[in-house]
């Protein structure tokens, strides 16, 4: 393993106190803007400044295929992954529509799509291999593949030209992989981690549970990167690297839904000190997500009963980051209002 985990020192408690005093001193009753004030303080801490700024936000949609789908853990064939990548690049997916409305740029990252994708200005080519192996029968990735995915994800996030990054995904079968990661790293009983994903009838859910039980019984892996190697997806591994690399570069990292949170769980377990640097965008309706959030002691910003993925929840939360930063940096203080120093 050559990927070096970043060192995350504790956030500055003295800066935290100054930021809290600053937000309490604005021209409003203390605490009257609720969690938006907490978010403003968090942004200032992550950026290391009393005048935080969030303007450019980019959504990185990591895409990859899963060998687990050979056993039918999804209601859809793996070819849908490549088809959805084409839809993202055409600007016609749900995340594109929401991103346009929220002023967020969308880039797609080919982490491990089982297809040869044509070059496109909106596509970042980072493919490690064409899909993972079937985790129900063998490790999903080699040590070298995990290492490469982490490295590439960290580099992409660190170099992204944005103040904040939404980490989203696309990969048929990836809710199955995320369930296995959650089971080992939350930890939680496997059945509580398994949801419908992109949609299943009763027969499909029974098949998904049986396949994942077989996969879980195959390996007793417990360490975060070994669990990732055994059960993860290439897009999930690259997302974990992105959380680590982006946070180390001082960027605000927005966690999306169930799969994104599973990648964040891997990153947090591997990189102590990362968690306070993450912003959890929304509570997904996918079964297991609230338990997963609880394992990370995370409070999502919004709850719209969404379960699509793609970064959609993170995109919708992006304007809240901009608003919180402007609240801290641009709102007049109560002293200025009372003293008349604001001018005409």
pLDDT of 304-340, one tens digit each? 999 999 999 999 999 999 999 999 999 999 888 888 7
Orientation of helix 202-218 relative to helix 174-185, angle to 10°: 50
125 given a catalytic annotation: no
User: Which residue do the tokens 């002023």 mark?
Assistant: 103
Across the chain, mean pLDDT equals 95
Q: What is the reported pLDDT for 1?
A: 60
Residue 310's nearest CA partner among 77, 58, 63 is 63
Q: What is the reported pLDDT for 166?
A: 98
Q: What is the reported pLDDT for 305?
A: 96
Q: What b/e readout covers 256-281, taking b as 16+ CB neighbours within 10 angstroms?
A: bbbbbbbbbbbbbbbbeebbebbbbb
Q: What average pLDDT score do residues 32-36 get?
A: 97
Domain 57-319 top-level CATH class: alpha beta
In this predicted structure, the answer to whether residue 246 has a pLDDT above a threshold of 60 is: yes
Q: What average pLDDT score do residues 257-279 get?
A: 97
In this predicted structure, the answer to whether residue 150 has a pLDDT above a threshold of 70 is: yes
In this predicted structure, the answer to whether residue 115 has a pLDDT above a threshold of 80 is: yes
Q: What is the reported pLDDT for 222?
A: 95
In this predicted structure, the answer to whether residue 64 has a pLDDT above a threshold of 90 is: yes
Q: What is the reported pLDDT for 343?
A: 61
Q: What average pLDDT score do residues 264-281 get?
A: 97
Please pick, among 169, 235, 286, 310, the residue that the annotation labels catalytic: 310
Q: What is the pTM of this model?
A: 0.96
HSE, side-chain direction, 13 A CA sphere, residue 292: 37
Q: What is the reported pLDDT for 341?
A: 74
Q: What is the reported pLDDT for 272?
A: 87
13-53+326-339: which CATH topology?
Answer: 1.10.1610
CB 186 within 8 A of CB 150: no
Sketch the domain layout of the chain as residue ranges: 13-53+326-339, 57-319
Q: Show the tokens assigned to 49.
A: 């400044």
In this predicted structure, the answer to whether residue 190 has a pLDDT above a threshold of 80 is: yes
Distance CA 174, CA 225 (A): 17
């Amino acid at each position: 393993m050559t990927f070096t985990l970043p060192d995350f020192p504790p956030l500055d408690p003295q800066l935290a106190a100054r930021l809290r005093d600053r937000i309490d001193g604005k021209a409003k009753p203390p605490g009257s803007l609720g969690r938006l004030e907490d978010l403003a303080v968090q942004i200032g801490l992550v950026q290391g400044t009393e005048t935080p700024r969030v303007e450019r936000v980019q959504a990185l949609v990591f895409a990859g295929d899963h060998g687990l789908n050979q056993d039918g853990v999804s209601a859809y064939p793996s070819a849908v992954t490549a088809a959805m990548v084409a839809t993202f690049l055409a600007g016609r997916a749900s995340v594109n529509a929401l991103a346009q409305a929220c002023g967020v740029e969308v880039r797609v990252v080919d982490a491990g799509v089982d297809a040869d994708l044509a070059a496109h200005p909106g596509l970042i080519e980072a493919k490690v291999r064409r899909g993972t192996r079937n985790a129900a029968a063998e490790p999903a990735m080699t040590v070298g593949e995990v290492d490469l995915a982490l490295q590439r994800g960290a580099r992409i996030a660190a170099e992204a030209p944005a103040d904040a990054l939404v980490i989203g995904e696309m990969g048929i079968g990836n809710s199955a992989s995320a369930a296995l990661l959650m089971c080992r790293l939350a930890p939680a009983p496997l059945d509580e981690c398994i949801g419908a994903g992109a949609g299943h009838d009763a027969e499909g859910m029974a098949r998904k549970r049986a396949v994942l039980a077989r996969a879980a019984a195959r390996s007793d892996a417990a360490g975060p990167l070994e669990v990732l190697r055994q059960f993860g997806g290439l897009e999930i591994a690259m997302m974990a690297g992105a959380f680590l690399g982006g946070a180390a570069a001082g960027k605000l990292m927005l966690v999306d839904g169930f799969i994104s949170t599973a990648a964040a769980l891997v990153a947090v377990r591997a990189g102590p000190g990362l968690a306070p640097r993450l912003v959890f965008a929304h509570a997904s309706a996918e079964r297991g997500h609230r338990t997963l959030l609880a394992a990370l002691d995370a409070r999502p910003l919004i709850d719209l009963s969404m379960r699509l993925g793609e970064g959609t929840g993170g995109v919708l939360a992006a304007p809240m980051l901009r608003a919180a930063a402007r609240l801290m940096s641009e709102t007049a203080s109560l002293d200025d209002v009372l003293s008349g120093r604001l001018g005409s």
